[in-house]
Structure 1
Amino acid sequence: MLVRDAMSTVILTLGPAHTLRQAATLMSSRRVGAAVVLDPDAGGIGILTERDILDSVGLGQNPDAEPLHAHTTTDIVFAAPTWTLEEAARAMAHGGFRHLVVLDRGEVAGIVSVRDIVRRWVPAQRPAPVS
Structure 2
Amino acid sequence: MSTDTTGRQATRVRPEDPVRMIMSTPVATVDSGASVLDAATELVADETGAVLVTGAGALGLLSERDVLTLVGTGVDLAAIQVVDVMTEDLVWARPDDTVAAVAHQMVEAKVRHLPVGDGRHAVGIVSLRDLTAVLVAAIRGGTPPVPGR
> So what's the TM-score if we normalise by structure 1?
0.86
Which position in structure 1 is the counterpart of 2:32?
Answer: 16
Is 1:90–2:116 an aligned residue pair?
A: no
Which position in structure 2 is the counterpart of 1:54?
Answer: 68
What are the superposed Cα offsets for residues 19-66 of structure 1, whole Å, 9 maximum, x if unpaired?
Answer: 1111111111211000000133xx342110001101111122111111
Deviation at 1:120, TM superposition (A): 2.1
Return 81-90 or 105-114, whichever deviates more: 105-114
Matched-pair identity in %: 35
- Which AA in structure 2 matches 1:9? T
From 41, 45, 51, the equivalent of 1:25 is: 41
Structure 2: gaps of 5 or more residues: 1-16, 144-149
Is 1:69–2:83 an aligned residue pair?
A: yes
Residue 103 of structure 2: SS of its match in structure 1?
helix
Deviation at 1:106, TM superposition (A): 4.5
> So what's the TM-score if we normalise by structure 2?
0.76
Count of aligned pairs between the two proteins:
123
> Which is richer in strand?
1
Structure 1: gaps of 5 or more residues: 126-131
Alpha-carbon separation, structure 1, partners of 2:119 and 2:107: 25
From 117, 122, 129, the equivalent of 2:136 is: 122
- The two structures, once aligned, show a CA RMSD in angstroms of 1.7
